[in-house]
Structure 1
Amino acid sequence: MIKELLQDLMATAFGAWTPQDGCAGDEITAAEDRLGISLPDALRDYYAAAGRHPELMGTGGHEHTFRLSALRDLSLEDGHLVFCVENQWPAQWSVRPDDVGWPDPRVHGRAAPGKKWYSEARRLSAFLINVAGRQAVGALPCQATCQLREGQLQAVEPLLDYVGSRELHRGGHWLSFVDRSSRIVAHYSYNTSTLRIGAVSPSALESLRERSGLPLKPV
């Protein structure tokens, strides 16, 4: 479902993807046996591609917003499978095993354990792709940002490829982009109208600034 997209994103950001970055199939199956449920395909793909990668799991030492639960820490709470938490706050994200959209169910969020769940994203696949994009940007050594209204995204679209497609991201709050040749990853938030870009080299950021005309500010 999204395994190849994640592998491509990781190769762009970190230079390569290797099987050691992900969890083996028997590890994923063992977690399912412990929980008594089958994981949704999108979540299985995330663990298979990035379940051992510290940056995409949010444990790499950078100021990542999200921390994905290790397979051993996955838990069921109030009928929800909690798979992600916010690193500095008690917010949680989950899916419901009884969701009719399984294997790509709706994502739910809540401000803290015990609080009311709300609908966060229409599809788990889009949520995970954009978590990965955000984590990758935060891990890259050269970063810049700018305010960008949704209608101004046309300045970016000719220069950066969507991770997957624009349709894949529909129903969520974020978009993720890559430029494989320049090793750039970018993340856009509808909520804050902010584009954040990460690159391996400062020259890649400068080239994007010149080609796009965007008022990029170093982070």
Structure 2
Amino acid sequence: MAGSFAERYRKLLADITGNSSSNYGYSLRAVETAEVQLGLRIPDALRDYYLSVGRHELNHVHNRILSPDDLSVSQRRLVFQEENQCVLYWGVRARTTAVDPMVFQTMDFEDGDWVAETRCSQFLPGMLCWYATGSMPHAGYSDQMDAVVARRLMRGWPLAGRSGVHSAFVRNGQVVCVEESGAGVMMSLGTRSSKDFKALVSELGIGIHER
């Protein structure tokens, strides 16, 4: 049974998609079979993600969350995600006792250096939101702007998660991601309805390119 992180993941997915179905997780049997094959227990924050929302299609629209039977261990890292062109990989320490371990990124999971990003419970929701802003029914992105401006625009919005370069915010079905870009940042946003999209663009008061 999914544990303490699962409800947060389910709620976030429901906020993004408007669908509160509980059928987007892998089965406990699939996760436990993977753990036996790997010879380890998947850390809770990642395990709960698989059990609650890991099968949802958003997990494959850009970077790919690997299915439980595709998980592998390399350089003492449990590799669970790959970039869509297999340029980057993400993993956690394979033998960690942490409930919510740090996520690391590498360009070569067999022989590369691993760079720390953020905790699993922040990374996974942050990535989910980023994928959403590229695939929701109504979506767009800004030009590069000063990070101070973006922080002001997001004031009062609840933080849903973050990765190394993304900070994600969700409010009533409206999703905004702030992404580091050169010397500044870019904002991407998505909504389920045209009305909400127009309202969000009006509220932000910045130029948005619709996807």
Determine the structure 1 residue equivalent to 2:38. Answer: 35
Determine the structure 2 residue equivalent to 1:6. Answer: 9
Return the match for 1:121 from 113, 117, 123: 117
Counterpart CA distance in 2 for 1:139 and 1:5 is 21
Structure 1 counterpart SS, 2:23: helix
> What RMSD, in angstroms, separates the aligned Cα atoms of the two structures?
2.0
Determine the structure 1 residue equivalent to 2:207. Answer: 215
Matched to 1:114, the amino acid is: E
Structure 2 gap ranges (5+): none
Runs of 4+ residues over 4 Å off in structure 1 = none
Determine the structure 1 residue equivalent to 2:154. Answer: 156
Deviations 1:70-115 (A, max 9, x none): 0111111222111000012332111112346x22222222113434
User: Cα offset for 1:191?
Assistant: 4.2
Counterpart CA distance in 2 for 1:148 and 1:5 is 31
Deviates more, 1:149-158 or 1:198-207: 149-158
Return the match for 2:70 from 30, 48, 73: 73
Taking structure 1 as reference, are residues 214 and 200 closer, same or farther at Cα in structure 2, changes over 3 Å only? Answer: same
Q: How many residues get paired?
A: 204
Check conservation: 2:159, 2:170, Cα contact below 8 A.
Answer: yes
User: In percent, how many aligned pairs have the same letter?
Assistant: 25
Taking structure 1 as reference, are residues 30 and 89 closer, same or farther at Cα in structure 2, changes over 3 Å only? Answer: closer
Deviations 1:121-176 (A, max 9, x none): 13122111111111222220211111333212221223x3321xxxx64x842211
TM-score, normalisation: structure 1: 0.84
TM-score, normalisation: structure 2: 0.87
Taking structure 1 as reference, are residues 2 and 134 closer, same or farther at Cα in structure 2, changes over 3 Å only? Answer: farther
Residue 191 (structure 2) pairs with residue 199 (structure 1)? yes
Structure 1 gap ranges (5+): 59-63
Counterpart CA distance in 2 for 1:189 and 1:172 is 9
Q: Which has the higher strand share?
A: 2
Residue 98 (structure 2) pairs with residue 94 (structure 1)? no
Determine the structure 2 residue equivalent to 1:173. Answer: 165
